[in-house]
């Protein structure tokens, strides 16, 4: 079967840049998968996706003009139904075969084509047939329709397409953007398919202004990318265009010198790649006096509003030069650079104005205004939230560092949200916290307080750095715990993949700080602190006349937190620990064994997991884990609470006396290692118990008729169970 490579392109108006790469990959993947499913392409056929601002395309290697025929066996019906008493075809059978397009005029010929085969308890009639392979036109039409239907379009447009019929009229079409061209080439042959009111051809369009010709004819499917680059002035591949932009950015930065580098932002690079077809990187600059504004403000306004790449010097400081990715390559680029410099200047001037105005009012002076900003309709204002965070932060500070740390944490928590009321954060919400740090330094609060205010949102995302100082850690913990307790308390829990308040991220932040900072705080104590502070500081019951405008009475009643909140929140935090531990390569059994004990010091969990893994590698581990599970089951079934007490005088069997003696020798060593934090040593010391434990279960009946013997043996097992399960529940390791 001969094959040719296939090229399909949809030429459209400018596609949404943030979705372009995803659209291109989805179009190519679904199209190729449909061709493979119909037998027109091999399962391992190479697929190349193309996506530029005005096109989606796919190149598929080795596509057949017609799929191979397929032999198939079709079950028709039971023999008792298909044949009459004389063995001739019944009316039901003839009707079924006729419906399949077969000639049923000759009953003898009909019977000759059928097979009788067992089908369960009875026999059935089967028909061997050959299904003709689909031709490329039919198969590609189906694949193209499916690829268009399954595009992850962020928002569909409806537009009018002139009707192709003889009568005048218009046809409504829905797609991500109006489509103006369709190419379908099998080798050099046009495949006559249709889509979005367009008929396939062999010509496309290049760059709006710099194409060498228009339209651009395509001689062969394999010549697509090269022809567009040569005659259309377009780099069709998203990946190739992105790589070219990155290359030019690095080259231009090197030309500037001084160790300058463009800011690294892959999302911005993707977005710019989706905005240009023929990238041309140019160097621009702005007035040096704007550098007096915090560089985060300037960088954000250049990136978010203008899609520019700021240049940083060797020390990571912003320079007054930036890089622009133009879509044209004029001989004289001065008009392009001058235009971009004129455009950015008002943006930077706005940032400078906001910064200057904000510094005229201290953070402390802004705090009362937080009472006029609604935080949540069931949890009150930002002012009320601030009071709750202050209470939690002060309590945690006392536990971690005494009165001095508590006082610093209280002040930082009071001022942490004040920058929400500044003009700069109002314009750029992404700068909350960051601007608070700058304004705290301007207010003379010092670096410790400024860093804490800036860092209290950290970690903001996976892999983000943690707060730099103890005050920042305390306030960050308090801020996240207030959010978790408050939203859990009103029943706003994450569900499935829905987490509108980012509670999973907040919980992971709490876990990371406790673990990576090795904080001596018990998890249950921390949850209880937050719960107590939240429960004692509820909405102030403001009268409608006292409430901020726009609240519509939603703050007029006190809120009550659900009583089960602490338990639910603790479970939620342990779930996050479980997930991150498995991501680090620990097995579900290892994680379950450790977390079954709900260790309160989260920094211990990693050491416990390592100890469990080392224990599981011992030859004695399997037998001891199984025995531990058995002991746990026996103790659960015992009547009343079993005390870990053993009377040596009641050890009547040699094997139970031997176990008691082994425990007396092993348990102190295991306990000492545990107290010293040597969890691996603690578990490995237990290996010596295997033989006496096995002998005990082989030779001793726990449920003896004598109540005193039974109680003593249960006490011995309780002692064993306690000794074996200080680091982890080893029974969870049993298969």
**Residue 71 pLDDT:** 78
Task: Spell out the alpha helix ranges (H) of 307-379.
Answer: 334-358, 363-366
**Residue 154 pLDDT:** 80
What is the spatial distance between Cα 36 and Cα 44, in angstroms, rounded to a whole number?
9
Distance (Å) of CA 265 to CA 188, 269, 271, 308, 663: 41, 6, 10, 11, 60
User: What are the residues whose beta carbons fall under 8 Å from the beta carbon of 724, sequence distance 6 or more?
Assistant: 624, 628, 631, 686, 689, 730
User: What are the residues whose beta carbons fall under 8 Å from the beta carbon of 664, sequence distance 6 or more?
Assistant: none
* Confidence category of residue 640, pLDDT binned at 50, 70, 90: confident
Overall average pLDDT of the 352-376 stretch: 96
Which bin fits 547, alpha (ψ -120 to 50), beta or left (φ > 0)? beta
The pLDDT tens digits for 202-258 are 999 999 999 999 999 999 999 999 999 999 999 999 999 999 999 999 999 999 998
User: What are the residues whose beta carbons fall under 8 Å from the beta carbon of 149, sequence distance 6 or more?
Assistant: none
Res. 162: pLDDT tops 70: no
8 Å CB contact between 40 and 139: yes
Res. 2: pLDDT tops 90: no
What is the spatial distance between Cα 31 and Cα 139, in angstroms, rounded to a whole number?
10
Q: Which of 130-139, 331-340, 662-671, 717-726 has the lowest mean pLDDT?
A: 130-139
8 Å CB contact between 435 and 419: yes
Res. 538: pLDDT tops 80: no
**Residue 114 pLDDT:** 83
* Confidence category of residue 80, pLDDT binned at 50, 70, 90: confident
3-state secondary structure of 342: helix
Burial 625-646 (b: 16+ CB within 10 A, else e): bbbbbbbbebbeeeeeebeeeb
Question: Which residues sit opposite 124 in a β-bridge?
Answer: 78, 117
**Residue 537 pLDDT:** 67
pTM of the predicted model over 0.85? no
Q: ∠268-269-274 over CA atoms, to 5°?
A: 95
Return the beta strands (E) in 521-668 as ranges.
none
Q: Are strands 189-190 and 179-186 parallel, antiparallel or unpaired?
A: antiparallel
CA trace torsion 380, 383, 384, 387 (10° rounding): 160
The more confident residue out of 185 and 129 is 185
Overall average pLDDT of the 161-186 stretch: 75
Residue 346, token pair as written in the block: 């008002």
Q: Give CB contacts under 8 A, 24+ apart, made by 554-563.
A: 554/374, 554/377, 554/378, 555/374, 555/377, 555/380, 555/381, 559/378, 559/379, 559/380, 559/489, 559/490, 561/485, 561/486, 561/489, 561/490, 561/531, 561/534, 561/535, 562/488, 562/489, 562/490, 562/491
**What's the mean per-residue pLDDT of the chain?**
90
Phi, psi of 118 (to 5 degrees): -60, 140
Question: Which residues sit opposite 472 in a β-bridge?
Answer: none
What is the spatial distance between Cα 440 and Cα 454, in angstroms, rounded to a whole number?
9
Res. 107: pLDDT tops 90: no
3-state secondary structure of 312: strand
8 Å CB contact between 595 and 574: yes
8 Å CB contact between 188 and 219: yes
- H or E stretch covering 711: helix 707-724
Res. 553: pLDDT tops 70: no
Which residue from 531, 529, 523 is spatially nearest to 507, judged by alpha carbons? 523
């Amino acid at each position: 079967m001969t094959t040719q490579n296939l090229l399909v392109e949809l030429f459209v108006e400018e596609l949404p840049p943030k979705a372009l790469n995803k659209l291109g990959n989805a179009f190519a993947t679904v199209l190729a998968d449909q061709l493979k499913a119909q037998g027109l392409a091999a399962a391992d056929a190479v697929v190349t996706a193309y996506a530029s601002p005005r096109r989606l395309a796919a190149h598929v290697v080795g596509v057949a003009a017609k799929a191979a025929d397929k032999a198939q066996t079709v079950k028709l019906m039971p023999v008792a139904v298909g044949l009459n008493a004389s063995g001739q075809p019944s009316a039901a059978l003839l009707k079924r075969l006729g419906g399949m397009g077969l000639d049923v005029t000759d009953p003898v010929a009909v019977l000759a084509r059928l097979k009788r085969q067992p089908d369960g308890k009875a026999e059935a009639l089967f028909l061997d047939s050959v299904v003709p392979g689909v031709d490329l036109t039919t198969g590609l039409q189906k694949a193209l329709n499916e690829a268009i239907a399954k595009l992850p379009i962020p928002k569909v447009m409806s537009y009018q397409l002139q009707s192709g019929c003889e009568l005048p009229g218009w046809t409504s079409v829905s797609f991500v953007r109006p489509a103006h061209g369709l190419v379908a080439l099998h080798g050099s042959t046009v495949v006559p398919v249709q889509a979005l009111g367009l008929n396939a051809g062999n010509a496309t369009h290049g760059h709006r202004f710099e194409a060498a010709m228009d339209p651009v004819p395509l001689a062969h499917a394999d010549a697509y990318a090269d022809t567009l680059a040569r005659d259309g002035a377009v780099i069709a591949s998203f990946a190739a265009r992105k790589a070219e932009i990155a290359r030019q950015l690095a080259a231009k930065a090197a030309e500037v010198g001084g160790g300058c580098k463009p800011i690294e932002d892959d999302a911005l690079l993707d977005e710019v790649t989706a905005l240009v077809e023929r990238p041309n990187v140019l160097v621009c600059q702005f007035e040096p006096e704007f550098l007096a504004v915090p560089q985060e403000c300037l960088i954000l306004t250049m990136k978010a509003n203008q899609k520019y790449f700021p240049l940083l010097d060797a020390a990571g400081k912003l320079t007054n030069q930036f890089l622009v990715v133009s879509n044209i390559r004029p001989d004289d680029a001065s008009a392009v650079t001058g235009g971009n410099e004129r455009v950015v200047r008002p943006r930077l001037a706005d940032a400078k104005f906001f910064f200057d105005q904000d510094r005229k009012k201290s953070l402390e002076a802004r705090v009362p205004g937080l009472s006029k900003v609604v935080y949540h309709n069931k949890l009150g204002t930002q002012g009320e939230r601030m009071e709750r965070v202050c209470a939690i932060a002060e309590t945690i500070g006392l536990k971690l560092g005494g009165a001095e740390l508590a006082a610093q944490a209280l002040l930082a928590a009071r001022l942490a949200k004040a920058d929400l009321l500044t003009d700069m954060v109002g314009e750029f919400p992404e700068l909350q916290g960051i601007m608070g740090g700058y304004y705290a330094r301007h207010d003379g609060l010092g670096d410790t307080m400024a860093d804490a205010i800036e860092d209290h949102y950290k970690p903001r995302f996976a892999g983000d750095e943690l707060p730099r100082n103890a005050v920042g850690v305390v306030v960050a913990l308090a801020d996240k715990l207030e959010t978790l307790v408050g939203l859990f308390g009103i029943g706003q829990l994450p569900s499935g993949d829905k987490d509108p308040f980012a509670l999973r991220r907040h919980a992971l932040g709490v876990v990371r700080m406790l673990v990576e900072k090795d904080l001596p705080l018990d998890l249950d104590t921390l949850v209880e602190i937050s719960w107590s502070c939240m429960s004692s500081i509820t909405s102030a019951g403001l009268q409608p006349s006292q409430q901020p405008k726009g609240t519509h009475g939603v703050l007029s009643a006190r809120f009550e937190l659900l009583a089960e909140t602490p338990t639910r929140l603790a479970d939620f935090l342990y779930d996050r620990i479980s997930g991150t531990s498995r991501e680090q390569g620990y097995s579900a059994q290892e994680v379950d064994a450790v977390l079954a004990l709900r260790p309160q010091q989260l920094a211990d969990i990693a050491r416990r997991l390592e100890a469990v893994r080392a224990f599981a590698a011992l030859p004695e581990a399997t037998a001891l884990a199984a025995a531990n599970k058995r002991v746990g089951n026996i103790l659960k079934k015992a009547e009343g609470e079993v005390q870990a007490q053993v009377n040596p005088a009641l050890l009547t069997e040699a094997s139970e006396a031997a176990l008691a003696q082994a425990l007396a020798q092993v348990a102190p060593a295991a306990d000492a290692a545990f107290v010293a934090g040597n969890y691996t040593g603690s578990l490995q010391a237990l290996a010596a118990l295997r033989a006496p434990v096995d002998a005990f279960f082989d030779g001793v009946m726990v449920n003896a008729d004598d109540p005193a013997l039974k109680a003593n043996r249960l006490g011995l097992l309780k002692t064993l169970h306690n000794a074996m399960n200080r680091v982890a529940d080893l029974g969870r390791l049993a298969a």
